[in-house]
């Protein structure tokens, strides 16, 4: 299998062109073709001599992801695409349309090793890491879909299949490529990475002082409840996790987001909300709550609107900002892994 061209950063691309005896500016022409013009075949690079186009086609693949199934929600606001990888595994990418935003939820792994009991991807187990180029390719695929409509992606959330910090180097390399000012040029603050709480990686991320947003999948405010839902809590309990979150905020001076899937009569109680408020006191943070997306492998049910409002009321009464997020694409199984687990 040919190497994927999106796995090269600009320096690596420049070295390749130098080895081909080409002038330095050729690499930038290719880079702009890939990330500005969104070209995805060697023959589209009309700015290049024929011999260079032939070499590109000979040495590189312009796609590792094969779109296999595309589903659109009944309200036309959510589109999910199931991609097949060269190794036969499946991943998913979801586009969410808002009034002024086009947000893409991307995957970093096929399956996931974290084993969160309510998550369809966690129920699959770990299958494979994606390369940085395969992460990038998801974004460029949807950018090409939006371009003829006069639209462009405004935000990328790394919240699809997989644990991004379990594939740290590839995930951050992909964001660096998409952030590059001579290419796709998506601002760092338009990316959000979500993690279940790999503490060493949170600390590494904090030390790098990036402007990328960080979200923590929390879902419970005591160790017993959280460990039953997210096995990673046994290795990194809440006091250790929250200490790393505070380090992140102190190092970056950025607000951190906590995600909370509200499960009826389980983690949606006023008592859990009060415990959460106590945990987060003094921390520059925001809590996003969303009713659970049901999966076949988990019996829990989404909370009611009334209970969600009461959960937020308790948090806000303690000075913790909270937003109830609308569930998207329920009719097309848009929750991460819900389609791939059947593929």
Active site residues: 92, 336
Q: Which residues contact 218 (CB under 8 A, 6 or more apart)?
A: 197, 226, 258, 259, 260, 276
- Contact yes or no for 135/171 (Cβ under 8 A): yes
What residues does 70 pair with on adjacent strands?
81
- Measured in residues, the chain has a length of 343
CA gap 270, 259 in Å, rounded: 17
Q: Which residues contact 21 (CB under 8 A, 6 or more apart)?
A: none
CA gap 178, 191 in Å, rounded: 10
| Structural element, H or E, at residue 94 | strand 90-97
> What are the phi and psi torsion angles at 262 (to 5°)?
-80, 115
Rg (CA), the chain: 21
User: Strands 78-84 and 90-97, how do they pair?
Assistant: antiparallel
Helix (H, G, I), strand (E, B) or coil at 131: coil
Q: Measured between alpha carbons, how far is residue 129 from residues 112, 203, 220, 251 in Å? A: 9, 21, 28, 29
Q: How many Å separate Cα 263 from the centre of its chain?
A: 22
> What are the phi and psi torsion angles at 217 (to 5°)?
-80, 105
| Structural element, H or E, at residue 52 | helix 50-59
């Amino acid at each position: 299998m040919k190497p994927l061209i999106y796995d090269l950063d600009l320096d690596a691309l420049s070295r390749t062109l130098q080895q081909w005896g080409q002038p330095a500016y050729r690499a930038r022409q290719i880079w702009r073709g890939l990330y500005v013009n969104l070209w995805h075949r060697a023959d589209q690079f009309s700015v290049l001599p024929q011999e260079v186009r032939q070499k590109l086609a000979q040495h590189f693949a312009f796609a590792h992801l094969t779109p296999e199934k595309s589903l659109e929600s009944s309200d036309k606001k959510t589109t999910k695409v199931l991609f097949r990888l060269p190794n036969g595994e499946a991943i998913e990418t979801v586009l969410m349309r808002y009034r002024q935003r086009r947000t893409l939820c991307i995957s970093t792994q096929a399956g996931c090793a974290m084993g969160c009991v309510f998550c369809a991807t966690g129920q699959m187990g770990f299958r494979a890491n994606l390369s940085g180029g395969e992460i990038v390719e998801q974004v460029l695929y949807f950018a090409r879909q939006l371009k003829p409509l006069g639209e462009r992606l405004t935000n990328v959330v790394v919240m699809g299949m997989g644990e991004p910090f379990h594939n740290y180097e590839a995930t951050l390399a992909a964001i660096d490529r998409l952030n590059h000012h001579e290419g796709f040029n998506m601002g760092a603050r338009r990316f959000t990475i979500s993690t279940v709480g790999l503490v060493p990686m949170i600390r590494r991320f904090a030390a790098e002082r990036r402007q990328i947003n960080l979200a923590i999948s929390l879902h419970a405010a005591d160790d017993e409840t959280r460990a039953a839902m997210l096995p990673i809590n046994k290795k990194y309990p809440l006091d250790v996790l929250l200490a790393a979150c505070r380090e992140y905020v102190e190092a970056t001076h950025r607000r951190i987001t906590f995600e909370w899937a509200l499960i009826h009569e389980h983690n949606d109680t006023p008592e859990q909300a009060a415990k959460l408020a106590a945990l987060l006191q003094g921390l520059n943070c925001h809590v996003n709550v969303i009713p659970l997306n049901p999966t076949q492998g988990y019996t829990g049910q989404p909370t009611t609107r009334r209970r969600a409002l009461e959960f937020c009321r308790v948090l806000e009464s303690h000075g913790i900002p909270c937003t109830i997020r609308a569930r998207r694409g329920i009719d097309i199984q848009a929750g991460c892994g819900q389609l791939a687990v059947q593929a």
